[in-house]
Amino acid sequence: MRTILVVAFFAGSLLSFSDLSAQGAELGIMAGGSLYSGDLSPKEFGLYTQDVSPAFGFFGRFNLGSAFALRLGLSLGKVSADDFDHGREDRGLNFRSNITEFALTGELNLFKLGSYQDRGVMPFVFAGVAVFHFNPEAEFDGDYIELQPLGTEGQGLPGYEEPYALTQIAIPLGLGVKFLLNETITLGLEFGGRKLFTDYLDDVSDTQANYFDILEGNGELAARLSRPTLKDPGPETADYRRGGAFNDWYYFGGLALSFRLQGGGGGFGRGKGIGCPTF
């Protein structure tokens, strides 16, 4: 139900913006994939194809000139990882989480290849701000358990951090290329990462925890999911750090297809061959 309400709100916002900015406005859809890197990855940055999940989105683009555009978008995807896929059977952690992201980004068109105003190829970079919602779950006894309410690293207990929020801010950063097919249709290929301000996208951080603190304060399920491979806990194995130095990121990438609304305008500049867009 939350997703339906967000989509409805997003669609209404796009229509309102479109009415005000029809001279340079586009509506579009994106389809591609989402993936994760972080504490459950072998490296902080890497492409792990087994963890790629389908993603899609909707957006409005408002061309403020030939060089710059604002984009308002809603993206939906999923991220996941499993230690058993990356040779960490000793730790035995896994997670999955749906991602719902509402983002405002600026696109800077770098140059244009093409001899016509309404056709050509245009590389671009983008950055902005996003609000995203996530909810990590772990597989346990054939079912998936929500991790944030459990406090698997002692969250909420004396001497530990407070429970992390499931809705947070992110900074989208990325690049892409637009193919201007005609005066109405633009096809894009893009990829971008999200700089996060939380290390709990996967429910795992480098916080030092004590198994017996978690067992006594947050319960047996929290303790077992905190260290799934710990079979015989004792004083010598009670203290541990589950994660490491890797920061959490998530990524969206794929094809974007947009349609310019009636009214045209917001052109991409004239010129033959390679040309730098002008503001």
Q: Is residue 230, in this structure, part of any structural domain at all? A: no
Amino acid found at 100? T
Number of domains in the chain: 1
Q: Minimal CA–CA distance to 135: which of 123, 153, 150, 114?
A: 150
Q: Is residue 232, in this structure, part of any structural domain at all? A: no
Which DSSP state fits 7? H
pLDDT the model gives residue 6 = 44
Q: Is residue 131, in this structure, part of any structural domain at all? A: yes
pLDDT the model gives residue 35 = 93
Structure tokens at 29: 């859809």
pLDDT the model gives residue 266 = 52
**209 in Cβ contact with 153 (< 8 Å):** yes
Count CB atoms within 10 A of the CB of residue 147.
Answer: 23
pLDDT the model gives residue 12 = 52
Distance of CA 223 to the CA centre of its chain: 29
Q: Is residue 127, in this structure, part of any structural domain at all? A: yes
Counting runs of H as helices and runs of E as strands, what totals does the chain give?
Answer: 3, 14
- Please tell me the distance from the alpha carbon of residue 279 to that of residue 275, in angstroms, as a whole number: 13
pLDDT the model gives residue 222 = 96
Q: Is residue 229, in this structure, part of any structural domain at all? A: no
Residues of the chain with pLDDT under 70: 1-23, 44-48, 115, 263-279
pLDDT the model gives residue 186 = 95
The CATH number of the domain holding residue 107 is 2.40.160.20
Q: Is residue 214, in this structure, part of any structural domain at all? A: no
> Which structural domain range is residue 126 located in?
2-152+164-204+251-275
pLDDT the model gives residue 45 = 64
pLDDT the model gives residue 230 = 87
Q: Is residue 222, in this structure, part of any structural domain at all? A: no
pLDDT the model gives residue 202 = 96
pLDDT the model gives residue 270 = 41
